[in-house]
Amino acid sequence: MKGKELWANFSKGLIIENPILVLALSLCPALAVTTSVETSLAMGLCVTFVMTLNNWVVSLVRNFVNPKVRAPIYITSIATIVTVVELLLRAFSPVLYKALGIYLSLIVVFAIILARAEVFASKNTPLPSFVDGFGMGCGFTLAMVLIGGIREVFGNGTILGYTVLPSSYQPALIFILAPGAFILIGYLVAAFKMLTEYLEQRGEAA
């Protein structure tokens, strides 16, 4: 596969098919763990690792899996990788492990991971599947950090724990609450919709 095709597989997950802001998949963590950049980035990196590795594994075994039992096989693969991630975080970063809480275990049922396994990895060779999973994971992480950064700045007046707004600023606590996250995600989805339409029109014009 040519480098240009691999780049197309990777880059589509950043904007055109962004898992959260375009496909509207796995919104649960986007609401629950994006109160700060730190937890947003941690969840994004965990999902990226799981999705990338799972896509690669699914692609490797796709010819040996009976189509009737492919979903349980894929979920077993995801659950195994998530368990490894949980054990590593628990051993090396217990504070972060505690901050992510139950949502770390729920990565197993994130729709975007199973969707990429079914739609792409089960139909393609290991390298493009790996790149697709990594690109989608990066797009997921980008969206999570964007949401988390805005919520932390306007909800706490900080970024990564450092004060970035004047002491006179009164934090808008709605950004820390679920309703604020819903509103913010709605605006970001609209913004990404405009951006994707612009990129599509530019591509057609070219």
The rounded distance, in Å, linking the Cα atoms of 128 and 134 is: 10
Domain span holding position 124? 3-205
In this prediction, residue 183 has a pLDDT band, given cuts at 50, 70 and 90, of very high
Confidence (pTM): 0.92
For 158, the 3-state DSSP assignment is: strand
Q: Of the ranges 179-183, 187-191, 198-202, which one carries the lowest mean pLDDT score?
A: 198-202
Give the number of other CB atoms < 10 A from CB of residue 76. 12
Q: What is the mean pLDDT of the chain?
A: 90
Q: Quick one: which H or E segment has residue 75?
A: helix 70-92
Domain count, the chain: 1
How far is the C-alpha of 40 from the C-alpha of 88, rounded, in Å?
18
Average pLDDT over residues 128-157: 95
